[in-house]
Structure 1
């Protein structure tokens, strides 16, 4: 359990303590853009790998709550929404993604009209679904880390982008919203049929179906998808 705790802390600190703070600029200036991204990626993927290993090694017998049948059903719905959101969000050109600022020249489209952080919201839904379906301490640590990272990561990214002086960034931040549907309800944006990425939608459903049948092999438990 100690290994899992340390890995979760390193994973959180790497993202929230470096990427979303002035330390990011300090490291980029001292190491250079390529070296910084290399070190950052190594820490991120390394700690994630240790997290997965630690989670797989610890016993899942100390339950803080026992999930109900209703919780399992809600988790399945959240998982479908999360996978569709992640896939469709990954396919849209998002200026908030790494090294994608050139997308600021494009019109806001797709899931960006719903939220400027579709992938992060998808990960948040993914983690919440698994928290509902798993009440043991290890699962709370593992998936709770992704809940914290996704939500506070969005806040951190927005805080950093609001300091940008580029008018393109200012316009993008004012037009879009972090919270889903706020920009649409306020009338700043309108979601049109052309904004639906049918390839991404179908791929999201297909991924859900594949993971549904493979879940037992991956997790060693019952299918919670």
Structure 2
């Protein structure tokens, strides 16, 4: 939850909530994404605070009554439903954050959950992918038909010198190139521009 979410849950404008409760809340409930600009908090801990059950820390946690605090997950333990960033998901898989995003586009990893302007993956999803037993994640592949599977365009387009040569005989227009080479108008314009550069004019 964000501080906006927490304020809304208490029925207060966020600026009022921050003035009245923000300092105490931040002192008792740790952020789950230290160093990030948008502070995010564990929902169970945030709701415990809102209900007057300030989640215990340190020595207080050891002495706390088990019935007073949320006990579904021990303090500090990892939960299958924890939402992980691309970097955290990458740490689970042993790959970089850009590879995690690539997995999501190829279907090797689920697309993730959009919240607060970024994508998150449940810990269980990352661990299931990690424990699947295959090593495909070392080199994420692409599905058949993916446009990125096409061979790269040759660095030197053979049509460019040909157009440059034709242009020395008679002026060429975009329409002439479209008709002769069967390309789009935009491609014809690009080829003409490249031909002028090629011929030095």
Which structure has greater helix proportion? Answer: 1
TM-score (norm 1): 0.20
Task: Specify the structure having the higher radius of gyration (Cα).
Answer: 2
TM-score (norm 2): 0.22
Q: Which has the higher contact order (CA 8 A, sep 6+)?
A: 1
